[in-house]
Structure 1
Amino acid sequence: MDLIDRELCDIRAKCEQQIADSKIISCSATLVRVDLLPHRPNRTLTVCLRFPEEDYPKTSAILVELKSKVYSEKFHAELTRLIDVYAREHLGGPQALLVLSFAQQYLLDNPLCVCLDEIKQLRMDLKSDEQADNRGSQLKLKQRTSSVELIARGGNYVYRVTAAVPDSYPNQSVELRGQQSNLPNVLIRYLNGQSREIARQCVEPPLRLNKEQLANFQPVRSLYRTLKFCLEATRDFHQELCPICDKTVLQQEPENLVLDEHADGFVERVYCGHLFHQGCLKHYLAEPPFPKGGKLCPAKRRHPRSDAQTYMGRGGTLEATSTSCKKTIEPGVCGIKLAHDRWVVNVKTAEARWAQKQARQRELEEVVDFLQ
């Protein structure tokens, strides 16, 4: 019995005992195929081993090929390189069991490798931000807890969130937790709620799908989409201008934020995504004209993170709901109907309030004229 035959016997006898949660698929002189973590379908890695025809194991290392449904090609290439280096360190003796054990331990020690491409893309986005002079955002990997922490910055404002990657990823979305921020509460609620909604949309099919569409629905990866949204939104908040007064909505220093929800400087976010000073919004909604379909947002462009469209790209941009509204949309204007939970006013009510305000103004002017 030569060395390769003895090694094959050792694999059959010891592999599944020594390497927990492994399964031998085939074991012959031409191909050894073993599934690592077979009971965790979204973490399973198939390792294919072939013995070199010459000088194995004295000067030639065992040949390795990796296959899986969840890990990326970049991960396969990197792990294959590491295994090859490890195998060459053990020339002169049996290598198959050593290589299998090394590969499985790497998977267990680095659970975030299942989203390697997404992490690399996020790091590229952070690097682009630094080149654009928008510094300070960070991405921290926590392999022990299989989570990714994002610290997003925009000016002096910070939003911190941790995305936990579950074992069943990508069939199950990331879990967002530990959110902390010095942004206004209205924007913190928006970031928390919208990021969770983006994660949900990645794995749950829309309600209005026919049977064929429902059968063809496939979950998509949620880590990059959710954290990219948090990064972009936080980066842009401090630069957004009020569409009415054309001044930045947020104070430069977070400690100077207006916290009184009845004050004119209080920050409001409307359905189209734009930010307003509360006083500016009140004045705009209370002044004529009052179009039949309601007032439209006067911002100079559509907002990239509007509630009127999904971040997943499955829905189109929301158009004005009535034909009359569509006709009044000016070029270069947002044009989405202004809507807010605290500002639901129909046209008749707005006109009546304006008429009442004008009547009071005329009465005051008449009193002043009389006294003079």
Structure 2
Amino acid sequence: MGIIEYEIEEIRKLCENTVPNSKIIACLCGDSPLVRVDIHDNSLHRQLTVCLRFPPEYPNDSILVELKSRTLSLKFLDSLARLCEKHARQHLGKPQGLHVLRFVQQYIHENPLCVCFDEIQELRRDLSANATPDLLKLKQRHSIVQLTAKGGEYYYKLNAYIPNEYPKQGVQLQQQESNLPPILVRYLNGQSCEIARQCVEPPLRVDKNDQAAFQPVPSLYRALKFCLEATSDFDVELCPICDKKVLPKEPSQLELDDTKDAFVERVYCGHLFHQGCLKHYLQQPPFPKSGKLCPAKRRHPRSDAKFYVGSASGRQPTVSADTGGRCSIRLAHDRWVVNVKLAESRWAQKQARERELQEVLDFLK
């Protein structure tokens, strides 16, 4: 019996007893000897098939490893296959098959974030080459991706927990912290969680056929990409009224008193305003019957009037395309619900008071 036949027989006898969660599919000798083993890690989405082939000069040459999976990405499988062959070369001149199988099982057990390998790589690219390593940390032991999004001196930090049934289950966003205004932190928290939910739950307002055809999609990259883009844009966003930056350069200068003019407000169309600018704009004529429109020079990329994920075909806007170089979405905010008649009445009273004061001043002169 040659060394290859001997090793294949050893794998047949020992593999399922010494490699946890493994199942032998094939052990073939002959002209093209190979071993095929299924390995999983107590999760439907962390399982793969290991195919071992023996080169003519084996064991002086390393064993050839091919990995296949219905759930793990090709890029991850290629990277892991190279690591397996590198590991096999440490055992040249000796049997290598069981060592490789144990290495694969241990690797997927110790690296549960392998199910979102491609998404993590995309996030690294989005963070740019100059980003420091602390902006994206992987906590494999706890299945957590920790992201810190930055815009100027402002930051938004959160933990993204990857559940066992990911991507069928959505990513769970936890432990958010930030030095942004509370209204923007609430927006980031709520919208990122909503994006993750839309990735795994079918829309309610569609027919039964569309609901049945819905397929969950990975949610990690979509949710964290939104946090990255929104946080970086907050720092440079201008108030549509005064055309100055909404946020002060230093977070310590933020106005937290919601009665002050410098307090930051976010409206339905997505734009940010200084509260004083917004009040002045809403209190001045004309007062159209349909309500005041946002005067911003462009539609906001993160308007509440749009779906972020939509159907499986991609994002679907619920408002018409921007054709006039203006936002032109009706201004709406929980604290600014004023009908046309009330607005006109308030403006008329203000004008009357100003005329009375002017008459008094003229009389005194």
TM-score normalised by the shorter chain: which range applies? over 0.9
CA distance 1:235–1:89, shift in 2 (3 Å): same
Note if 1:160 corresponds to 2:160.
no
Bigger mean CA deviation after superposition, 357-366 or 114-123: 357-366
Counterpart of 2:276 in structure 1 is: 279
Counterpart of 1:24 in structure 2 is: 24
**CA drift at 1:355:** 2.0
Note if 1:339 corresponds to 2:336.
no
Bigger mean CA deviation after superposition, 335-344 or 205-214: 205-214
- 1:283-302 to structure 2, matched below 5 A, reads 283-302=280-299
**CA drift at 1:32:** 2.0
Counterpart of 2:159 in 1: which secondary structure? strand
CA distance 1:217–1:122, shift in 2 (3 Å): same
Counterpart of 2:124 in structure 1 is: 123
CA distance 1:191–1:38, shift in 2 (3 Å): closer
Distance 1:196 1:331 in 2: 32
Contact 1:136 1:153 in 2 (8 A): no
Corresponding residue to 2:346 among 329, 334, 353? 353
Counterpart of 1:46 in structure 2 is: 49
Bigger mean CA deviation after superposition, 141-150 or 243-252: 141-150
Distance 1:103 1:154 in 2: 40
Over residues 316-344 of structure 1, what are the superposed CA-to-partner deviations in whole Å (9 max), with x where a residue is unaligned? 15249xxxxxxxx9821111110101111
Counterpart of 2:44 in 1: which secondary structure? coil
Counting aligned pairs with the same residue, the percent is: 63
Structure 2 residue runs without a partner (length 5+): none
Counterpart of 2:123 in 1: which secondary structure? helix
Distance 1:294 1:371 in 2: 40
**CA drift at 1:12:** 2.3
Counterpart of 1:56 in structure 2 is: 58
Counterpart of 2:303 in 1: which secondary structure? coil
**CA drift at 1:268:** 0.3
- 1:159-178 to structure 2, matched below 5 A, reads 159-178=156-175
Contact 1:37 1:43 in 2 (8 A): yes
Over residues 217-270 of structure 1, what are the superposed CA-to-partner deviations in whole Å (9 max), with x where a residue is unaligned? 111111111111111111111211110011111111111111110011100000
Counterpart of 1:323 in structure 2 is: none
Counterpart of 1:37 in structure 2 is: 40
TM-score normalized with structure 1 length: 0.90
Amino acid in structure 2 at the alignment position of 1:35: D
CA distance 1:330–1:226, shift in 2 (3 Å): closer
Distance 1:27 1:166 in 2: 34
Counterpart of 2:13 in structure 1 is: 13
Contact 1:137 1:153 in 2 (8 A): no
- 1:143-222 to structure 2, matched below 5 A, reads 143-222=140-219
Bigger mean CA deviation after superposition, 347-356 or 221-230: 347-356
Amino acid in structure 2 at the alignment position of 1:187: L
- 1:81-100 to structure 2, matched below 5 A, reads 81-100=82-101
CA distance 1:9–1:135, shift in 2 (3 Å): closer
Distance 1:65 1:127 in 2: 32
Contact 1:173 1:221 in 2 (8 A): yes
CA distance 1:136–1:22, shift in 2 (3 Å): closer
Contact 1:319 1:336 in 2 (8 A): no
CA distance 1:181–1:173, shift in 2 (3 Å): same
Contact 1:135 1:153 in 2 (8 A): no
**CA drift at 1:291:** 1.2
Distance 1:290 1:104 in 2: 68
**CA drift at 1:153:** 1.4
Contact 1:176 1:196 in 2 (8 A): yes
Amino acid in structure 2 at the alignment position of 1:8: I
> How many residues matched?
358
Over residues 171-221 of structure 1, what are the superposed CA-to-partner deviations in whole Å (9 max), with x where a residue is unaligned? 111111111111110111111111111111111111122233222211111
Contact 1:45 1:67 in 2 (8 A): yes
TM-score normalized with structure 2 length: 0.92
Counterpart of 2:128 in 1: which secondary structure? helix
**CA drift at 1:146:** 1.6
Counterpart of 1:300 in 2: which secondary structure? coil
Contact 1:157 1:254 in 2 (8 A): yes
Contact 2:20 2:105 in 1 (8 A): no
Contact 1:22 1:38 in 2 (8 A): no
Amino acid in structure 2 at the alignment position of 1:356: Q
Counterpart of 1:325 in structure 2 is: none
CA distance 1:3–1:330, shift in 2 (3 Å): closer
**CA drift at 1:371:** 4.6
